[in-house]
Structures are given as structure tokens and as C-alpha cells.
Amino acid sequence: MANHGLIVGLDIGTNTVKALAADVRNQQANINAVGRSVSHGVKKGVVVDIDATATDIRQAMAQINEQAGQPITEVVAALPAENIQISRLSGQITVQDSQHISYQDVEAVVHEIIKGQVAADREVIDLVPLDFVVDDFDGIQDPNDMVGMRLAMNAIAYTAPKHILGNLKMAIAKAGLNLRDCVLTPLATSKTVLSEAEQEFGSILLDMGAGQTTAAVVQGNQIKFISSFPAGGDNITRDISNVLSIGGYEAEMLKLDSGVALTRLADEQEKLVIQRVGQTEPEEITQKYLAEVIEARVDQILGKLGEKLNMVNAQQLPGGVTLIGGTAALSGMPDAVEASLGVKTKSFAPNDIGLHHPGFANAWAVIQSAAQQLPIQLVVKQALYGLTIQSLGQAAVDSSTASLTGARTAPVAQPQAPVQKRPQLVRPVDDRSDVEVELSHEDDVVDKRDSDKKSSRIGEFFREFFE
């Protein structure tokens, strides 16, 4: 398949709207434009103010247009895991021409699958084929040009509430853009951030954002478990602001400039000057004291997610933890995660010039996944969204003639699975599906086992603001 064209990925986060443009050639995406703006209309990854979000998108896209040297009208948007449901779906059709299966038949089986199997208040974001079955032969990855009378498809469906996706679409439309595709961020990042071995043998992908923190467990090249906790970098900033009695902006700058996620890594001799609200004279604190404030919240987030990950035995997976998201850039965060979860931890950032920061991982992954889609994946997207997907930088799929408007590539050789036995994920509930989603909406609470924090000024803060 001759991949070509311009792809623009949009990551609308709680703190920042990030836009990346890439020129795609032969499934390789070369970033050539970067845009970003402060986000004002998003809470915990979900659009809550359409007009404000549209304004923020326009600001980020103006930078893209200037750098790319052409106006952009279509984008691929990232969608966080919040309120996502994952389920296995199957469907079967009778082939229109029993001597020849075409991509038109694939579209028909996609429509058959989602018809009646998706709740009326939800919308399919993505449908990932597990395999196709032609008559009684299963395990087929692409049935195009095969001969058969019946075509079935087994797939994993990712759905979101219609109002969440509707608000995202409305904000993008008000920004003067067309939404050509919506990509679930854990799905995109797992395929692009993790290595093939990490995807196969099992890893934890930890996305540490401003408003929420999401853990995705990947094994056997599939997402097996997702758990989100509604706290992130913004909560750390508010904690600093409340404990030190300083403004939100000052707290954010203090966190970014001098913050450490693990107290034992902080310098007790390093003095930081702050200006408390209502005080006329500046005051000094140590970096270690600041780290105590930060570590308290980091402990809470990782502790809550660690409980969920323990339920599925995820810490036993050999791939360890890979960190992405803006909060992952906080000094000492890999050490803090490793200390809390007890597994080896690393941080990922794109290598492209100007993007070497974990906060760009989601937007980067959206572009990479769009660029690397195979013909069969494009056909499924075409059926879901009712469009010809040329704007994603891909060769358009002509389902009526079952051909691609571009050179077809030879099948991609799949790596053979190593003989080594993989650790097994443990199901926390009865095993009715291969995927489990745990989304926490509980209010912030202090871990009452942490008696040390209770006896300090930080403990007073926790009692006042958490309980």
C-alpha cells in the first residue's frame, strides 16, 4: 500500500491542546509541524466547554498552518480511556458473490456486527478485527479475494458515550475542522510506544496526564485491562498551592522547576524561595519538603492503580511499566513508580526534534497509528465512519472493486512467538470477556495507612481537603 499525504493528529488534554502534522510516505510519518495551546474547556480529558475548546484548537492549528505552509481542514483526534467500554463482538453475512469475497463484503459484515449489538447511547470508536472466518476456516487476517459463501468477523469493539464523542466532534467542527478519525489513546500508544516483544509478552502502559492517570495492560498484542484514576498533575499542583499557600501559577512553576516525585531523591540542602499569600516577606523551604507534598499525591495515585493492577497480576508481566503523559516528565517519576509498583519502569518520549517530552506521546502515537494502518483496517474504518479515508495519508480503499488506489504491499511477516511461557493475567471477575475496564470516579481520599503524613503540616492539609 502506497501511504502518502499529510496527517494531523490532535490531542485535546486537560491542560494543553497539542497538534502535530506529519508527512507520510510508505507508512513512515515525518513530523513537520507542531502546535500547542493552553486548554480551557476540558476536564479530566473530556470536553466540558465546546466554545472554549474550539478556541484552543484554533490557536494550536494556527501554528500548524503556518509551519506546514497550507491550511489544514481535517484532523485525527485522540480520545482518552475515560468512559470507554470494550467488548468482543461477532457477526456473519452471506457473500454477495460466492466466488469472490471483496472489501465490500467486509464493510457489510462490519455493519452487521454493530447493528443491534451496541447500546443506543454509545458509539463505536474503533473496531479491531481479531480474525475473519470464511465458511469454516478461521484465523484469516484479510479475506479479500478469497472464495467462500459465508464471511464472519470476530472483533474487539471500543465504544464511548455519544455525548462525549459528540462534544468532541462539535468542538472540532466549531474550530473549522473535519474529524476524519478518532483514535483511542491506549490503543494507539500500545501499538506505537511499546516494542513488539513488550506487546506480546505483556507490559503496563501508564499515561500520567493532568486530570487523570490511566493504566493499560497489554499482552498478546491486545489491551487486556484498563483502569483510570481521576487525579494527575493538576492535583499535584493544587496540593502544592494549598500546602504552601501560594498561587496556582507559582505552584505549577515550582513543580516543574524544582519538583521531585520521590522524597529520597530530593536535596534537603537546596533552598527554594516562595511568597505565601498574605505574607510580605519571602520564605524559604527545602526541595525535600516540596517533594513530600508531591510524593503524597503520587503515592495515592499509584496506590489506587496498583490495587487494580494487582487484581490481574499485571506486575508479573516481563515488560514492566512504560510512562507517558506530561506528569511522567516530573523528576524522579520512574523511580517513584518502580518503588510503588515493584516493577522496572521507563519513560517514553518521541525522538522527533522538538517533541522529546512524554507529554507529546499521545499525539505522536495517533499520527503513527494512522500512518501504519493496513488495508483491512482502513476498510473497517471506512465502514464505521462512512467515508473514503484518503485524508489519513492512506491510499483510498475502493470496496466495490476490492482494490487499493496504490501499490499493494506483500503481507507483513508476523514474528514467531518465543517458546518462553508468558505470565498469565488473572481475571478479577467471571471471565466473560478478554478485556476488563476499571474506571474509578471516586473522590480523592487520603490513604489512612500513612500515619506519618497525618502528623505533619501536610497531614493537616490532607485532613482539611481530602476528608
Compute the distance between CA of residue 47 and CA of residue 40 in angstroms, rounded to an integer. 9
Residue 231 CA neighbour count, 13 Å, CB half: 22
Given a contact cutoff of 8 angstroms between Cβ atoms, the answer to whether 64 and 33 are in contact is: yes
Q: Can you read off the three cell numbers belonging to residue 9? A: 493528529
CATH number for region 85-162: 3.30.1490.110
Residue with cell 492535583: 235
CATH number assigned to the domain covering 197-347+436-466: 3.30.420.40
Domain with CATH 3.30.420.40 in the chain: 4-82+164-195+351-404, 197-347+436-466
Q: Which residues lie closer than 8 Å to 285 by C-beta, 6 or more apart?
A: 244, 271, 272, 274
Residue from 397, 372, 384, 403 nearest 7 by CA: 372
> pTM for this structure?
0.81
Residues of the chain with CATH 3.30.1490.110: 85-162
CATH fold for the domain made of 4-82+164-195+351-404: Nucleotidyltransferase; domain 5 (3.30.420)
β-pairing, 203-208 vs 321-324, is: parallel
Q: Please list the pLDDT of the chain residue by residue as tens digits (467 residues).
A: 334 588 999 999 999 999 999 998 888 888 999 999 999 999 988 999 999 999 999 999 999 999 999 899 999 999 888 778 889 999 999 998 777 899 999 999 999 999 888 888 999 989 999 999 999 899 999 999 999 999 999 999 999 899 888 999 999 999 999 988 889 999 999 999 999 999 999 999 999 999 999 999 999 999 999 999 999 999 999 999 999 999 999 999 999 999 999 999 999 999 999 999 999 999 999 999 999 999 999 999 999 999 999 999 999 999 999 999 999 999 999 999 999 999 999 999 998 867 889 999 999 999 999 888 889 998 998 898 775 544 334 444 444 443 333 333 333 333 343 334 445 554 443 333 445 555 444 444 444 334 444 345 555 544 444 44
User: Under a CB-based contact definition with an 8 Å cutoff, are residues 144 and 103 in contact?
Assistant: yes
Nearest to 201 by CA among 226, 214, 218, 223: 218
